[in-house]
Structure 1
Amino acid sequence: MREFSRPHIVGPLLSGGLADTVYEVADLEPGRVQLARRDPGDPGRWSPVTARTFRDEVVALAKGLLASGIGFGDRVAMMARTRYEWTLFSYALWSIGAQLVPVYPTSSEDQVCWILSHTEAVAVVVEGEDHAMSVGAVCDRLPALRSIWQMDTGCVQALCDQGRGVPEELVHQRRWAVEPHSVAVIAYTSGTTGTPMGCLITHANLAAECDTLYAGWGSLLAAPGEQPSILAFLPLSHIYGLMVQVACIRSGVIMGHEPALTAAALVPAFASFRPTFVFAVPYVFERMLKCARGVAEEAGRGRLFDRAMDVAVRYAEAVEQHALGAGKGPGPWLRAAHAVFDRMVYRRLRAVLGDRVRYAVSGGSPFSRELGLMFAGAGITVYDGYGLTETTAAVTAQPVGRVRFGTVGCPMPGNSIRIAHDGEVWVRGNTVFAGYLGDRAATEAAMHQGWLRTGDLGYLDGDGYLTITGRKKDVIITSGGKSVCPLVLEARVRMHPLVSQCVVVGDNRPYIGALITLDPDALPRWQRLIREQAAAGRAVVSANQALHAEIQKAVSVANTAVSRAESIRAFRILPAEFSVQDGLLTPSLKLRRDAITKAYAAEIEQLYAG
């Protein structure tokens, strides 16, 4: 199949902008709980924020922004982690017709300078002193910048105090002037292969995305009769995280905020907030599974955990085939084994998310079939989707009740997918952006007769499910002329409990190689196990040889998914993980392949020496 479309299930935004929802809900249901705010004195307690309270806070801040000189159409940058003030500033800015410019809090001074200069931002809101210093260091190159406000020094209250004398009517006058096709956000691409591009995202784009998701998938958000709740922990400076925020506000979903994207922070946050649904990236699910296996291994139940996951995969495969009309579902033995492991293993895995989550969404990068089957078999069905900054997040998603693991689902209602002759994925729909800021040539190059060229490679099956095979720019061509998409190999290697990251290399080389980093939490547990085996009198080779042999297992398993010409023939274990701080990962945790190959050029040469 070369093209597949689905009709709209919601109408377009006909008037106004995103901020209108805040005022409409407050008028109709003032006591409705809209958000939950963590108690500063007790991180385990969450205080409800009603629609009326949130509206009043938005108005007060919007008045302060007007008093400080922020005008209609002005651009204001936000450089902070995911926290309540982020949402408050978003809706205050949209209430007065200003445009939001998200900046990753981990951005370098040069990146901050580029975004603020490119957008001609008149003000920037930062979280802490380190962010303020990053902006301050480049202020002399930003003639348009007039104000820097810092959350941690009470800028919200200071602005509200400043705006006390501003008539509320002025806020509404500017809000009523906002039109659906007004720019709401200038969201920058991750810049994995070059300078980040500023994507113009309109109020209509975000409304279409969020309203379609709720209309088509809202039944998954919570059990019947239960108000949905979502813990927002993805960066709001990324279009995916920002979409989650807007979807919660537009759909009446209670939203809480967690600033840290680490297991140490997320586990207690899930336990106290107890969300009914989760939006995450594959990294979170991978870490969750590896942490659970690590706990089991520490208790001497590693093999039991592995058997449970094997049953989960087979059980989920049987359920999947039955849902797609190609099988009878799990047999009696499989159902019995699954029930036993549900009591012993799966319920513990679900408890990590607060024990109320039964469905989740993964986005940002492809979610492997194996991982999807494991979670589905453990009682959490993860709906994988696909999208770009240019498509206002998801443009495809798994249909409700008809998940096909390993794919990214079908086009969302109102969208179309086309596979070009070279295998590139093209998309079209109401969520496609309005163009790149100040770059008509780049916009025209990205668009073709209404279709957005995504730069991704993939294919459609006979039922319209899309499978992403890689990025056009990431395709490796060996010296023998073999084209290799690294995505499948990398995902399979990462499934090993010890592996954290994997980068496949081999451009213009005789064979495929890989750079592999190890999970810093899993490695000590494995080392202790090796020492215990040696103490028990078993013949154990040196630690380095044992580690290499263990990673070779992961590589060998991954190689079964590809032909011999595409298989990994050699690998190097690196001493440390790639990170955002060292410039080898984007803020959304994607690999910066060019930077990695330059940083580890010597190690790559060693792969091919002799």
Structure 2
Amino acid sequence: MVVDSEARNIMALVTDSWRLHANKVVMRYTDGDDEWISVTGAEAAAHVAAVAKGLIARGIAPGESVGIMCRTRYEWTVLDFAIWSAGAIPVPIYDTSSPSQIDWITSDAAVRTLFVETDAHAAMARKVASDSESPLLAIEVIDKGAIPALVADGARVSDTELATRTERPGPGDLATIIYTSGTTGRPKGVRLTHKNFISHIAGLQAIVPGVLFEEGASTVLFLTLAHSLARLVEVLLAASGTVIGFCPDPKKLVPYIGTFKPTLVLAVPRVFEKIYNAAEQRAAAGGKVKIFRWAAKQAIEYSEALDTSAGPTAALRIRHAIAYRLVLAKIVAVLGGRARWAVSGSAPLGPRLGHFYRGLGLTVLEGYGLTETNAASHLNPQDAPRIGTVGTRIPGIEVKIADDGEILLRGDQLFEGYHHNPEATAAAIVDGWFHSGDIGTQDADGYLTITGRKKEIIVTAGGKNVAPAVLEDRLRGYPLVSQCVVVGDGKPFIGALITIDADALPGWLHGKGLPEMTIAEAVQHTFVRDHLDKAVARANKAVSRAESIRKYDVLPNDFTVENGYLTPSLKVKRATVLKDYSDAIEALYAEDTRDQGTRD
């Protein structure tokens, strides 16, 4: 359903869509046997209304903050829409949050009622609530029947009372507070209004109508709903009538995609990298890696040729058709066989993978945005995508590039400020323009290319400015590499810290005819190091010699959300890595070995 950009609030969009799709499936979730259960528009509306009545019966007041701490599942979305229907303000909390993070968010947002997924979450929350200064009064456990209990309590609330609550918020009213995942410092609460969401949805529908409105349009949502991107997508899909499938466990994403058969794949670059690398490793294990790489080359060249005036040659079309039959069709099958579109955000995907996926029939539309811009300010239009860019501005957003390359933004989608933090708001919004902290360039047609983070620019001892993302993105594309942090601020040359992908290692070793080995053993193996040298050398081709990696170290452990080196949205906490691995970084510069190649 095309949204009314003048709609009063989020639920006006969603309930209209559910009414239009009353007898059609709008959401699907899995049971204990991973079988899909369908929910129609009428069923979704009834369930949300019943839960909203329960919230009202429990005394949730209009404008009150209510917390949700849960993985991405059907119940999360029901609670989200029910809280909005009750006229309250949902405040998401990452399900991986620590007690101190729970304490900060619930205190800052004055959350009195918190819905958590598990007993383990509840135990942490109860420790927080035991503090006499905590506002937390009620902790409800989803896995212990919190939602059916709300439905039962709401039986005494009338439809009229619910309608009054649902219609109460206006466009300028606060819709939610989303706390940044915190790559540095304490998370800031980003205040987003109903107008922010309505404007965004109208703009996105204008850019990718065919993606959202094609017959049977659907996607599997696995990105955490505590993150602004997944949250915007949740509302966008519900308002558009696009079917949402919920995947609480990211490890099940690929098999869920296979059985759900979406038309749209929504993911972060790491997922697209892993699908490609897994396919290559399977080919290597079967002794067909050369065929796979040949097929991948045809896919990339075919996609690149689509961007030329002449298009693919007849010979290339034949090679591509053969490659599709031999290899590419199998990857398409892994993705469910129906996907024609993909949206990638959070970090750069890279032209190589963009062209590879388009070469097998899946057009990846990269986008860009921050929590402060309600997750999206740019997206590649479906009818004119440019691989390697994050697309054009969403209608309603204004963009300009500052003299130092920083991307500045303003418009209806822009947040209204940081919660209880006027100093940070004043620093971020100057003369009406939000200073993104990202560095980029914009071409004559308005397509934006991101080159890095302003605060992450490395200035070597020789005065050379280096954007680490260029090298990091290319190195992460190598099958063995999981993460990469480029270093060298104030140093004589550029170095890097690399981690090994534990999931990819066994298949890579098998494909190379090597025995099984641990990461610690692999790091010391000459053959493995030779290939890492080659990967670094390939990455260096994208930059000048002064910007190239001269030395690197392979760390014994990967960066994960659990060990504190990745945010829940899978971004590296650079400051934490630089601090904790300062000895490893200094060791890179213990001797000036700039002329000894990349080997440390």
Matched residue, 2:302: 315
State whether residues 63 and 171 of structure 1, in contact with CA within 8 Å, keep that contact through their aligned partners in structure 2.
Answer: yes
SS at match of 2:498: strand
Whether 2:274 is the aligned partner of 1:284: answer: no
Single out whichever of 408-417 and 473-482 deviates more from structure 2. Answer: 408-417
Matched residue, 2:181: 190
Counterpart pick for 2:246 among 257, 268, 285: 257
Counterpart pick for 2:337 among 355, 365, 382: 355
Distance 1:522 1:542, change over 3 A: closer
Deviation of 1:60 after TM superposition, in Å, equals: 0.9
Whether 2:348 is the aligned partner of 1:366: answer: yes
Distance 2:345 2:191 in 1: 21
Deviation of 1:291 after TM superposition, in Å, equals: 0.9
State whether residues 481 and 500 of structure 2, in contact with CA within 8 Å, keep that contact through their aligned partners in structure 1.
Answer: yes
Alignment gaps of 5+ in structure 2: 517-521, 592-600
State whether residues 103 and 134 of structure 2, in contact with CA within 8 Å, keep that contact through their aligned partners in structure 1.
Answer: no
Amino acid at match of 1:274: K
Matched residue, 1:241: 230
Amino acid at match of 2:200: E
1:377-396 paired onto structure 2 within 5 Å = 377-396=359-378
Q: Deviation string for 1:141-188 (max 9, x for gaps)?
A: 353212111110010001111121122211111111110111111011
SS at match of 2:226: coil
The number of aligned residues is 584
State whether residues 440 and 450 of structure 2, in contact with CA within 8 Å, keep that contact through their aligned partners in structure 1.
Answer: yes
Matched residue, 2:571: 590
Deviation of 1:269 after TM superposition, in Å, equals: 0.6
Distance 1:571 1:26, change over 3 A: closer
State whether residues 12 and 208 of structure 1, in contact with CA within 8 Å, keep that contact through their aligned partners in structure 2.
Answer: no
SS at match of 1:19: helix
1:342-491 paired onto structure 2 within 5 Å = 342-491=324-473
Deviation of 1:216 after TM superposition, in Å, equals: 2.1
Counterpart pick for 1:296 among 262, 268, 283: 283
Deviation of 1:12 after TM superposition, in Å, equals: 6.8
Matched residue, 2:130: 140
Matched residue, 2:140: 149
When normalised by structure 2's length, the TM-score is 0.94
SS at match of 1:42: coil
Distance 1:395 1:248 in 2: 17
Deviation of 1:527 after TM superposition, in Å, equals: 2.6
Whether 2:110 is the aligned partner of 1:120: answer: yes
Whether 2:586 is the aligned partner of 1:599: answer: no
Counterpart pick for 1:20 among 12, 24, 29: 12
Deviation of 1:41 after TM superposition, in Å, equals: 4.3
Amino acid at match of 1:195: R
Amino acid at match of 2:415: F
SS at match of 1:394: coil
State whether residues 339 and 362 of structure 2, in contact with CA within 8 Å, keep that contact through their aligned partners in structure 1.
Answer: yes
Distance 2:174 2:10 in 1: 11
Deviation of 1:438 after TM superposition, in Å, equals: 0.9
State whether residues 407 and 435 of structure 2, in contact with CA within 8 Å, keep that contact through their aligned partners in structure 1.
Answer: yes
Cα RMSD, aligned residues only: 1.8
Distance 1:379 1:29, change over 3 A: closer
State whether residues 211 and 250 of structure 1, in contact with CA within 8 Å, keep that contact through their aligned partners in structure 2.
Answer: no
Structure 1 vs Structure 2: percent identity of aligned residues?
43
Distance 1:567 1:215 in 2: 41
Distance 2:406 2:443 in 1: 15
Whether 2:293 is the aligned partner of 1:306: answer: yes
State whether residues 426 and 451 of structure 1, in contact with CA within 8 Å, keep that contact through their aligned partners in structure 2.
Answer: yes
Amino acid at match of 1:548: R
Counterpart pick for 2:543 among 562, 575, 580: 562
Alignment gaps of 5+ in structure 1: 1-9, 322-326, 535-540
Counterpart pick for 2:314 among 328, 332, 351: 332
Deviation of 1:530 after TM superposition, in Å, equals: 4.5
Distance 2:168 2:212 in 1: 33
SS at match of 2:87: coil
1:101-120 paired onto structure 2 within 5 Å = 101-120=91-110
Matched residue, 1:324: none
Distance 1:486 1:542 in 2: 23
Deviation of 1:229 after TM superposition, in Å, equals: 1.1
Distance 1:434 1:304, change over 3 A: same
Matched residue, 1:551: 532
Q: Deviation string for 1:492-539 (max 9, x for gaps)?
A: 1111111111110111111100011111122122333445599xxxxx
State whether residues 221 and 276 of structure 1, in contact with CA within 8 Å, keep that contact through their aligned partners in structure 2.
Answer: no
Matched residue, 2:553: 572
Distance 2:422 2:523 in 1: 59
Amino acid at match of 1:291: A
Distance 2:21 2:443 in 1: 45
Deviation of 1:137 after TM superposition, in Å, equals: 1.6
